[in-house]
Structure 1
Amino acid sequence: MIEYSLYELEALSPLNSFSSPGLKKGMYLRVKKGEGYGYSDYFPHVELGDVSVEELLQGKRDEHFEKALWWAEHELEVSQRITPSPFKNHNLYRGDEVSNDVLKLKVTSIQDFEKIVRIVKECKALRLDANGTINVKQWNNFLIKLNDDERSKIEYIEDPGEGDWSELLVPSAKDFMDSPKFDFVVYKPNARFLSSNSKAIFSSYMGSDLGRYHAWLDLMDKGDLNLVHGLHTPNIYRGQKDLFVKKSGAFEINPKVIDEIYLELRQRSWCCLN
């Protein structure tokens, strides 16, 4: 039997190029495992094509739900076989000073090109998340104006839009868009199964703290810790827990927060999911 419990998160800023701040709906799942329960997080980004919570309650299913169910059934097993280790994480650019860390910038239109020019002159490395809002031709028309040093700092463009990604002047990364050719895959452990042999950047699906914990479990289990990942997404939601702590330039899990997450899950009300 699968049980569910609905929840809401208040986004303090847009989560992607097509969303807005405000309340977002999610669903916890629970399955019986021996003497206890296994839990997982289903948090859809409907504006990007995910099945909504309402549709899920009406019986619609997709890969995102199947992966969430997988976590409910396997979270204990994965947690018992991993060895916790520090991991490197990029910083989300929020308009503040450029740091020596790898930066990630969300790009919403070609008007952001001027911002990219300013940042790339000062940063160590830059990742651009476009959500398909700009096409390959537009990107190349911009990229060709950068010098070699500036272009080399762009690690990849995530979902660079319509066009042949192999013609892009910098590496590409696949997230929501489909493309036969890409250099990296942005892997969301809460929503998908890892099927590509490309370099996988483990990324938070920007759901609940439980979902971020599961993404960390997957990174510890099969991720490349030499790469810089995207699990630490602070101050996205009101009341978000400090799941990760930074030590000596890398991030580690906070065990006390894990205990808090599961205590709150056990205290919730649950209904049967048909």
Structure 2
Amino acid sequence: MITTGFVVGTFARIITLKEDYRQYPSYPNGFVIHIVTGAVAAAIGAVAIPALVTKNFVGVSFLALAIQQFRDVRRMEKVSLQELEKSEFTPRGSAYIDGIAKTFEARNYVALLSAFLCVLAMLLLPGHRLLPDVTAGVVAGLLSIWLLRRYTKGKKVGDIADIHIAKITFDEKDKLYVDDIPVQNVGLPAARERFQQEGIAVMITPRYADGGIVLANYGQRQAIVHEAARTFGLKRYIYMRRDFNTGRICFAMIPIRQDEAALLKLVAQVPLLESTKKSARMRNPQLLPSEKGE
């Protein structure tokens, strides 16, 4: 029972540990750190119920200790990323770092809960025969992994906004425009010429009002610019501007790698930060408690 729960929980951590376009976590050291902590979480989740059944309350107390250790994982990731900010040409920003750190902590809980539910299913199954017990435990564990991943999966910029390549132009006063949005004065002729030859600009248009609220968040815009600059490299210059009338945001850059289609795909995949999300209840005045009520 414990072995099955441990394997299922560790598997849950492995499949949620992936290196994507952000190149994070790093390989191989980052992978080793998170797989080991995920295996520890799975082990604790797997032994929790047997410890209760056998009235071994000392073993259960390790659960509280583990939660503290997972908080330390979040703290470690946060400190590590904050130190890396010093070497980034375009910083991630504190909101993005906080979201990444919380995600890594939450994934350890996914491993713990999937192992816990796997063992619970095996315990509740009558008869206690090896093959049916293991089958029921694995099915329950995999189902819990699917549900937890679905629940914890966040939205991306492409879910709330339309994204397209925009045109870079300059007016007679040497101001850089992205489509019709004035962005930045570029005084040097060499810089203007380089922008016209090698510059790429992206326009992000929210589909609805709530999308505009999310894109207005400075941390969200900083995350978008960081991913673009870090993934495609930056020869020189990167400017971002928000249109206060329409809620659109745009940025222009001179990347090392010239690939407009890949840039659009990357911007669409940038996750929406948790700090930008608001409850539907708080957005709808009709759902709020009255001043005379609660």
Q: Compute the TM-score of the two structures, normalised by the length of structure 2.
A: 0.20
Which one has a bigger Cα radius of gyration? 2
Between structures 1 and 2, the one with greater strand share: 1
Q: What's the TM-score, normalizing by structure 1?
A: 0.21
Higher relative contact order (CA 8 A, sep 6+): 1
More helix by percentage: 2
